[in-house]
Structure 1
Amino acid sequence: MIEQQLVNPPAAGDAEADENRGHTSPAVPAPDLRSADRRDKPSRTDSLTAQLSTIVGGPVGDHALIGRTRFWTPLRVMLAFAVVFLALSWAGKAGCIQQTSDGAGGLTLDWNNGRQYVAMCYSDTVPLFGAEHLDEGAFPYKKQWTEIGADGRPDARYMEYPVLSGLYQYVASQLAFAWKQLPLPDALTVVVYFNIAVVGLALAWLVTVWASARLSGRRVWDAALVALSPLVLVHAFTNFDALATAFAATGLLAWARRRPVLAGVLLGLGGAAKLYPLLLLGPILVLCLRTENRQRLTGLRERLRDRGGIGHGLREYLADAQLSPLRSAGLTITAAAGSWLLVNLPIALPFSSGWREFFRLNTERHADPDSIYNVITSFTGWPGFDGTLTPSQPPTVLNLVSLALFAAACAVIAYIGLTAARRPRVAQLMFLVVAAFLLTNKVWSPQYSLWLVPLAVLALPHRRILLAWMTIDALVWFPRMYYYLGVDQKGVPEQWFTGTVILRDLAVIGLCALIVRQIYRPSEDVVRRDGTDDPVGGVLDRAADPLLPWLPSALRPHPTPLASAVAPVPAHR
């Protein structure tokens, strides 16, 4: 009766209505719009999550109101998951900060009998405290020391990390010294240093999770794999790469929110911590080149011809009120270069030798055990592109081959991005570029796999597939540790380790193949269902594609029936 009265209000003078008027609304209530019905519901759309959800009562109901929880929002749940996994990661490394007697009444780290490998707790953070002379309070890049190389010759050494990573280590060491001066629980300085460094790295990974969740759009639960990745358990604190992932993820978030200058600043800062955030600028440029239209470039040519030459014309073009794709890419790249220089110049100018150490070592180092080049050598005995080298000889040919292979891979990825019938999503091309860099590089340190985690979740949010790859990649750590232990100490032969490296590389190649398939068949892209275009796209999201492409015909998009299976998303009005 009440429901009928709400739908059909009674006529004036109705006695029954007058009697009940104090109990009903004077008009039909507005609909409740607080349910986030467009949000992806993994317990109903993903078979793996549906099976796991039976632990907590099964999939979400058909009539459930989504997004009404006041405190336990998806983001807070994922941050809580991340805290648990980060705590477990610290526990996994804690075996390497155990203390024991040094035989003279003092304490030292218990790394006896290869404990760091047997317990699989190794972290670069611990030995770098002494190796980089941070235990002396020395300022990175200024401090020089001499090491005797494998060839018996003395070698001048400096801090070997990019500027922000090196300064992070220095600040953590200074905080450790300050801790020792306070009436607080005491331990070896290196132990205090490790724990302080871990706190900052944990916060950086939480920022990565937060930004990934914001970038996921309606598929917010995809970011749960960033928080719950097996790679976090193993490598969150192996090195300092979480700093770079935080800058990269927040830089992408700024780009997605159409703030190109802030995006460039954050990516430039990430490049000052590790190289890979700068690689993300390439896909942005390629997709913006594709989206730029002929009319705007014709206008630029007219300004260059009629309005005072190159400088004045470019200023007018860049000052255009419309935030065009090409202008946005230019602002981002310029801001990235500026922020990178702003961080590096204060170190490079007064301490040029120390600043160049990172680049020198990366040029002179040989193929690491993790690289595909060493894998081939371990199974075939191949001496490498340069043949047999002494430790002091740089692998010149290997450097050129690695660079050429990466450049060729980037050219192929750019061609895919420019010619695919529908514009690829930003995250898809970014994953392909970073994966190509790791696969062709002569160094793939184990923690580098963290670079791929947020990009993989955004580019290919298939939970079973990603969890399988992350598990394979994380498990490479176990034969790696026992290979480093040595066969003479009951370790494993090199081929046991390099064999798992092959599996990891094949898994990453498989992810790349699936992403390329979805670029050419956007109907299979789960992100683009329900009319979504590109949550990470920023100015590219819902932009017309293509609108009078200015590229040569060989590099223009080629429509195909498969791509037309998903209707193009209309541009914003």
Structure 2
Amino acid sequence: MSTPPDPRTEEGQDRPWQVPSWVDPVVAQATGIVGGPLGRYAVVGGRGLAGVAAAVVLLGALMLGLGVWQKGHCLMKGWSTPDQFWRSCYSDVAVVHASSPLAERALPWVGEGAATGTAPLSGVAMWLLAVVSPRAGGGLASQQWVLALWALVAMVLLAVAVVALVALCPTRPWRAAHLAASPVLALLALVSTDLLGVTLMVLGLWAWRRDRPWVAGLLLGLALLVRPFPLLVLAAIVMLAARRGRLLPALQAVVGTVLGALLVLLPLVSVQPEALTAAQQWWGQPAGYGALQMVPRLLGLSVPTGLTTAVAVGGWPLALMLGWRWTAPDRPGGAPGVEQVAALMLLVVALTATSLSVQSGLWVLPFLALSSVPWSRHLVWALVEALTFVTTWLHIAYASDPGRGLPPDAYAVVVVLRAAAWTWLLWEVARAPHRPAHRPAPTSTPVRTVSPS
């Protein structure tokens, strides 16, 4: 009698999609708490992609719950300085709310304690949280409310991002766990409103894959009002479209991006023109926390701010040139995908940036979910991000108590280590084999017939 193929191997072509516990040893070990990896004859995908998405969203809810727990000290005692740094529970959402006009349910860019460095869409999001919060003012109760509201919004945003990632990778839907189940998410999701931009960027990629360039551009235009990283995704879209002779959809995406940004900026600037100061603030500023350019200053060297700005500005055309070369049709390994080209350009921009805040790590997670990087490498990088998370707050608190805080030379070592981790991981994403999105196989398990030998 012939032996039926093992669905855990490449010969098992009847599987609806790849199961992580069969192919990733880290995931196989982690499943021990729920009974171990799936067995050889387990029915996988009986509930379709919706079941996978629901399971991953539940994992995301667990990680966000851990994030709330990690902020617990500040949530109960308040965000006081330097205590919030010793406890590593700082959050822009709560601190900016109490120290800016947001406390009075006003936009944050004008008035006493104006948050001039807040990105346009981030400021609008925090203003909406302040408006719907039942408690106004800058007291602890109002901070608790806005952080709790943001945690709920973050859960919705994460669910939307997970569904989009599952739709983007229908044959490997569990890869969405690289976003939802990452330890980085637990640490960073409540630090700022960056998860809003990350979700919009993922939706923009989803729309582009579904041949909706106008919608993709609109979503990317909104996302770049949180951070400029989505511009790299747009650039990757344009480059690959140009290589493949699809200039019209690329142009539609570019125009859609402009319209998406103007959709927020025009009404916002008409009410509060100072909202644009965030885009101008980095110009002429010394290197900030997390940036590789900050290392010389940490070591006591004087670096002209003009040189710092020039390096940051020069990083963008350098990233575009490398991205264009990466899309060459004769590149070894075949044509890359949008996420691979964008990851390579993100690496260059991150290494030359004037600032690379702790929450910047959130923007790496979608690229991991869309690549074939294994969990072992993800967790090594996450460990470095966690180290950066803790040491950044300790270095900030060094000014309050040098005996307890992290001195500049020690923080410089962490910054260099983080730059190395980003380089290693994003390079792995950029050179990973590209698997074009395609429809999953039927989710029903076919009946095998055993023929006599």
Tell me the TM-score range normalised by the shorter chain.
0.7 to 0.9
SS in 1 for 2:370: helix
Question: Residue 86 of structure 1 corresponds to which residue in structure 2?
Answer: 64
Are the aligned partners of 1:285 and 1:326 in contact in 2 as well (CA < 8 Å)? yes
Q: Distance in 2 between the 1:472 and 1:110 partners?
A: 25
Are the aligned partners of 2:122 and 2:226 in contact in 1 as well (CA < 8 Å)? yes
Are the aligned partners of 1:265 and 1:338 in contact in 2 as well (CA < 8 Å)? yes
Q: Check 1:514–1:158 CA distance in 2 against 1; reply closer, same or farther (3 A cut).
A: closer
Question: Residue 451 of structure 2 corresponds to which residue in structure 1?
Answer: none
SS in 2 for 1:188: helix
Are the aligned partners of 1:276 and 1:434 in contact in 2 as well (CA < 8 Å)? yes
Question: Residue 150 of structure 1 corresponds to which residue in structure 2?
Answer: none
User: Structure 1: which 5+ residue stretches go unaligned?
Assistant: 1-34, 100-108, 148-156, 293-324, 387-394, 519-524, 537-573
Q: Check 1:450–1:291 CA distance in 2 against 1; reply closer, same or farther (3 A cut).
A: same
- Among residues 120, 127, 131, which one is paired with 1:170 in the alignment? 127
Q: Which of the pair has the greater relative contact order for Cα pairs under 8 Å at 6+ separation?
A: 2
Does 1:272 pair with 2:225?
Answer: yes
Question: Residue 218 of structure 1 corresponds to which residue in structure 2?
Answer: 171
Shift of 1:132: 2.2
Question: Residue 279 of structure 2 corresponds to which residue in structure 1?
Answer: 359
Once the two structures are superposed, residues 385-435 of structure 1 have per-residue CA deviations (whole angstroms, 9 ceiling, x without a partner) of: x1xxxxxxxx23321221113321320121111242521111111111222
Equivalent residues in 2 for 1:90-169 (5 A)? 90-99=68-77, 109=78, 111=80, 114-141=82-109, 143-145=110-112, 159-169=116-126
User: Structure 2: which amino acid aligns with 1:405?
Assistant: G
Are the aligned partners of 1:271 and 1:278 in contact in 2 as well (CA < 8 Å)? yes
Shift of 1:71: 10
Are the aligned partners of 2:397 and 2:405 in contact in 1 as well (CA < 8 Å)? yes
Shift of 1:516: 4.6
Shift of 1:359: 2.1
With 224-233 and 47-56 compared, the bigger mean Cα shift is at 47-56
Once the two structures are superposed, residues 299-356 of structure 1 have per-residue CA deviations (whole angstroms, 9 ceiling, x without a partner) of: xxxxxxxxxxxxxxxxxxxxxxxxxx2221111111111111121111224533x133
With 260-269 and 46-55 compared, the bigger mean Cα shift is at 46-55
Once the two structures are superposed, residues 126-182 of structure 1 have per-residue CA deviations (whole angstroms, 9 ceiling, x without a partner) of: 2201332211232344x334x7xxxxxxxxx56432322111111111122x3579x
Shift of 1:98: 2.1
Q: Check 1:507–1:110 CA distance in 2 against 1; reply closer, same or farther (3 A cut).
A: closer
Q: Distance in 2 between the 1:450 and 1:237 partners?
A: 11
- Among residues 303, 308, 319, which one is paired with 1:398 in the alignment? 308
Q: Check 1:48–1:190 CA distance in 2 against 1; reply closer, same or farther (3 A cut).
A: closer
Shift of 1:257: 1.4
With 445-454 and 458-467 compared, the bigger mean Cα shift is at 458-467
Question: Residue 328 of structure 1 corresponds to which residue in structure 2?
Answer: 249
Q: Distance in 2 between the 1:165 and 1:267 partners?
A: 15
Equivalent residues in 2 for 1:496-535 (5 A)? 496-518=410-432, 525=433, 528=435, 533-534=436-437
Q: Check 1:396–1:123 CA distance in 2 against 1; reply closer, same or farther (3 A cut).
A: same
Q: State the TM-score, normalized to the length of structure 2.
A: 0.86
User: Structure 2: which amino acid aligns with 1:51?
Assistant: Q
Q: Distance in 2 between the 1:406 and 1:65 partners?
A: 48
Question: Residue 362 of structure 2 corresponds to which residue in structure 1?
Answer: 450
SS in 2 for 1:172: helix
Q: Distance in 2 between the 1:63 and 1:455 partners?
A: 32
With 61-70 and 80-89 compared, the bigger mean Cα shift is at 61-70
Structure 1 vs Structure 2 CA RMSD = 2.5
Are the aligned partners of 2:160 and 2:199 in contact in 1 as well (CA < 8 Å)? yes
Are the aligned partners of 1:369 and 1:375 in contact in 2 as well (CA < 8 Å)? no
User: Structure 1: which amino acid aligns with 2:374?
Assistant: H
Q: Distance in 2 between the 1:36 and 1:467 partners?
A: 31
SS in 2 for 1:418: coil
Question: Residue 407 of structure 2 corresponds to which residue in structure 1?
Answer: 493
Q: Distance in 2 between the 1:97 and 1:180 partners?
A: 16
Q: Distance in 1 between the 2:88 and 2:128 partners?
A: 27
Q: Distance in 2 between the 1:205 and 1:71 partners?
A: 17
Does 1:430 pair with 2:342?
Answer: yes
Larger gyration radius, structure 1 or structure 2: 1
User: Structure 2: which 5+ residue stretches go unaligned?
Assistant: 1-12, 440-453
Q: Distance in 1 between the 2:155 and 2:364 partners?
A: 17
Shift of 1:444: 0.3
Question: Residue 440 of structure 1 corresponds to which residue in structure 2?
Answer: 352
Once the two structures are superposed, residues 26-83 of structure 1 have per-residue CA deviations (whole angstroms, 9 ceiling, x without a partner) of: xxxxxxxxx9714012222222222333443443333333211479811111100100
Are the aligned partners of 2:315 and 2:352 in contact in 1 as well (CA < 8 Å)? yes
Q: Check 1:248–1:534 CA distance in 2 against 1; reply closer, same or farther (3 A cut).
A: same
User: Structure 2: which amino acid aligns with 1:86?
Assistant: L
Shift of 1:214: 2.0
Q: State the TM-score, normalized to the length of structure 1.
A: 0.69
User: Structure 1: which amino acid aligns with 2:302?
Assistant: P
